[in-house]
Chain A
């Protein structure tokens, strides 16, 4: 007899992140979200990039693709278009998604591919030992910016909204219940969903700790006047305070790429017979030659 899923059904190898790493919370939230949606492990494929964050495919139990640096989204797109009965979730770091892989993000949003993208945004390149990442705050001293980072950071929420995203959220590793809601909402959303998670790196970022975020973050989900279906409010929120908000920023009806493809059939290509069978082939030919 089937029993209700719990996060334990998604337990993979023991997670080997540094003690205090924000990615533990993301893993737990993803497990809870899948359990809440009653999505069994064999209905999910998790695609992760390269970095500390990318190890998540080993720690989460489902189908997994641990792909190359920055390329989660094209691979996830390929899966979503071919194996159509799987829930496709991509996950990776800020370097992976907003640095080397940024162009793919814009195109995945533009297509509104039906998949969920969780970015573990720690503001550093954790895996290569603490260099600047695209979301490093200007002025930060790192091994690759010994006199302080010169560049302005990328603003992922602004970029995503400008590109036409249909589900946009930001969470923080200190609030797992909210992360669960945001991720579950993203998986349920028909279209492309981005959940940016502020995920502290206690090893290489001494500044942006859990306490630091707690003192700064405003929770949109608790603001009575905030309506995530309002593009205007969303634009205002991400323009003036994108790194200090959490919650569901924007949600609009998706127009999933899949549903716009000509003659798209929902059954997975992997189990489809693409060639017409003899009977159908004969009917097509009969019609063509009007016999």
Chain B
């Protein structure tokens, strides 16, 4: 199939339709509005429902009720408003796919690319002890591919799955090969479609008895342990590396260029790119940290994923951080400079 030149937001939308999307609920917000607007045109044609809700709070709760392959998308402020609903979906074990095209924050911030929602996406789905599974693409093709993965993981684990992108990924255009359409399973336990002779399905996250709620939480935690097998990451030029750069999403793209330039200049640098942010590729980071002499984390934030990297590296090597934020995007020369500094730090030691 010929690759088609496609915007990140639209590639995710089309991939979702091909994954069997039946319903989309959302609320406009820059820089992701192309995604709902694409679905407004194309989803009804393929038999699905599109609805622009009155707010993100309404939209996430419509998602909660859908009982079919369902997606919602937003950016920072809207993602915050969805946290309560996501907590209920997690508690009641109802799947969905939620896209957050991150922008500069906090507050209204701006509409430029950023990665400041890492904590919010990976550490907790709203209140309580629940998690989202989180995927972080770095190209339009990968955004398209991971959308399919997201729907499958959501159903398999009965848990919301987040695709964490940023304004740049959503807006940029790249050639994409779209996947073939699939038909998802219809008879799912979280839909109110009849339970045969079993008890009536009541979707809830309420357990007044602490014993029962603890049991529910144990089930969730057991699920997250099982989800460890879904860890995805990619290594680049790591074999003989002294400096390992760790970056995800758009930052990893910038870092890869910097790694190549460092190599040209004789600095043995490599790249670890987490693709699943939860579950985090801790083992991979630990292994790499055992082989290199220093780790450099770079993000478009004031330092969020770096905490997971430090936990994984567990003191094996120094972990340095370089971030730009507020919508500022680091450049390859900036990262190269940081790599060189890291390299000279260990050379001096």
A-side residues, CB < 8 A to B, are 50, 66, 68-70, 99-100, 102, 125, 128-129, 131-132, 134, 143-147
Contacts and interface: CB of A to CB of B under 8 A. Distances in A.
Contacts of A129: 28, 30, 33
Contacts of A145: 40, 52
Given A99-B54, A100-B56, 7 more contacts: A50-B108, A100-B27, A100-B54, A129-B30, A129-B33, A131-B28, A143-B33
A128 B33 contact: yes
B28 A128 contact: yes
Most B CB contacts (10 A, CB to CB) among A66, A100, A102, A125 go to: A100
B40 A143 contact: yes
Point out which of B29, B52, B77 has the most chain A C-beta atoms below 10 A from its C-beta.
B52
A102 B41 CA distance: 28
A92 to B, nearest CB: 13
Contacts of B55: 70, 99-100
Interface in B10-59: 27-30, 33, 36-37, 40-41, 44, 52, 54-57
A145 B54 CA distance: 14
A38 B28 CA distance: 40
A128 B52 contact: no
A145 B52 CA distance: 9
Contacts of B44: 147
B198 interface: no
A132 B108 contact: no
B54 A131 contact: no
A134 B108 CA distance: 22
Contacts of B56: 100
Instruction: Please provide the 10 A-B residue pairs with the shortest distance between their CB atoms, ordered closest to farther.
Output: A100-B55, A128-B28, A143-B37, A99-B54, A144-B52, A131-B28, A146-B41, A144-B40, A146-B40, A125-B28
B36 A102 contact: no
Contacts of B54: 99-100, 102, 134
Contact of B33 (A68, A70, A131, A132): A131
Contacts of A131: 28, 33, 37, 52
Given A131-B28, A143-B33, A68 B107 contact: yes
Interface of B: 27-30, 33, 36-37, 40-41, 44, 52, 54-57, 77, 107-108
Nearest to B39: A144
Instruction: Among A99, A131, A144, find the residue whose CB has the most chain B CB atoms closer than 10 A.
Output: A144
Contacts of A143: 33, 37, 40
B39 to A, nearest CB: 9
Nearest to B42: A146
B27 to A, nearest CB: 7
Contacts of A100: 27, 54-57
A101 B270 CA distance: 49
A68 B57 CA distance: 14
Contacts of A102: 54
A50 B77 CA distance: 11
A66 to B, nearest CB: 7
Given A144-B37, A144-B52, A128 B108 contact: no
B52 A132 contact: yes
21 contacts: A50-B108, A68-B77, A68-B107, A68-B108, A70-B55, A100-B55, A100-B57, A102-B54, A125-B28, A128-B33, A129-B28, A131-B28, A131-B33, A131-B37, A143-B37, A143-B40, A144-B37, A144-B40, A144-B52, A145-B40, A145-B52
Contacts of A50: 108
A138 to B, nearest CB: 14
Contacts of B41: 146
A69 B54 CA distance: 12
Contacts of B108: 50, 66, 68-69
A128 B40 contact: no
Nearest to B34: A143
Given A99-B55, A144-B36, A146-B41, A128 B30 contact: yes
Contacts of B30: 128-129
A66 B57 CA distance: 21
Nearest to A54: B108
Contacts of B52: 131-132, 144-145
B81 to A, nearest CB: 8
A199 B221 CA distance: 53
Q: Which of A66, A70, A143, A145 has the most CB of B within 10 A?
A: A143
A216 to B, nearest CB: 26
Contacts of B57: 100
Contacts of B77: 68-69
Nearest to A100: B55
Contacts of B36: 144
B249 to A, nearest CB: 23
Nearest to A131: B28
Nearest to B78: A69
B107 A128 contact: no
B202 to A, nearest CB: 27
A66 B107 CA distance: 11
Contacts of A68: 77, 107-108
A70 B56 CA distance: 11
A143 B50 CA distance: 12
A147 B55 CA distance: 21
A115 B37 CA distance: 37
Contacts of A66: 108
